[in-house]
């Protein structure tokens, strides 16, 4: 009876290990903690976005975010030219509806279940089978559940 109980216990522990979702490992936990320590106003930056939609011309937009400025967002150029008043107005409305991009947003999804798919000197690659709800919103459509992601973490320096 004792060996049957031990075998059943071992089998249920093995089944629980297989059924349990992947948990954040120590490196993921470190990245999440670092991201949570920063807020949306931690950095000023310039971003370039290129959008290519079927049947439309490619659009390249450059904007700047500086938490010390008023306004904090500035549309710098559209397709290499100064923006029109209409483009500036549209940009102002669009950035007002979205969270500021930044490292702090990694905390939202980087602790989600993931698998290390590669590890080499100075690099670790994680694969996320899906992103948590609200992570990827494009034009008001939450695509998070339908989006897989891979993140390559540089571990060569003192801070990943």
What tokens does 115 get?
Answer: 């698998």
Nearest-CA neighbor of 103 among 144, 45, 59, 20?
A: 45
Instruction: Note the helical H segments in the chain.
Output: 2-19, 26-37, 85-96, 106-109
For residues 37 and 137, give the distance between their C-alpha atoms in angstroms, rounded to a whole number: 23
pLDDT tens digits for range 28-64: 999 999 999 988 888 898 999 898 888 989 999 999 9
Under 8 Å between Cβ of 97 and 87? no
Q: What is the pLDDT of residue 10?
A: 43
CA dihedral 20, 22, 27, 28 (to 10 degrees): -110
pLDDT tens digits for range 89-140: 999 998 887 777 788 888 888 888 999 999 999 999 999 999 999 888 877 7
Q: What is the pLDDT of residue 98?
A: 77
The pTM of this model reads 0.62
Bridge partners (DSSP) of residue 116 are: 126
């Amino acid at each position: 009876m004792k060996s049957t109980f031990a075998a059943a216990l071992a089998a249920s522990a093995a089944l629980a290990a297989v059924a349990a979702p992947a948990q954040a490992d120590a490196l993921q936990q470190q990245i999440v903690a670092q991201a949570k320590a920063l807020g949306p106003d931690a950095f000023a930056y310039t971003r370039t976005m290129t959008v290519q939609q079927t049947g439309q011309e490619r659009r390249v937009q450059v904007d700047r975010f500086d938490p010390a400025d008023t306004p904090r967002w500035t549309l710098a150029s559209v397709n290499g030219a100064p923006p029109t008043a209409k483009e500036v107005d549209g940009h102002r409305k669009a950035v007002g509806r979205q969270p500021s991009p930044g490292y702090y947003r990694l905390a939202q999804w980087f602790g989600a279940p993931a698998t290390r798919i590669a590890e080499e000197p100075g690099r670790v690659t994680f694969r996320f089978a899906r992103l948590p709800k609200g992570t990827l919103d494009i034009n008001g459509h939450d695509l998070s559940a339908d989006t897989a992601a891979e993140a390559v973490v540089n571990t060569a320096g003192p801070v990943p």
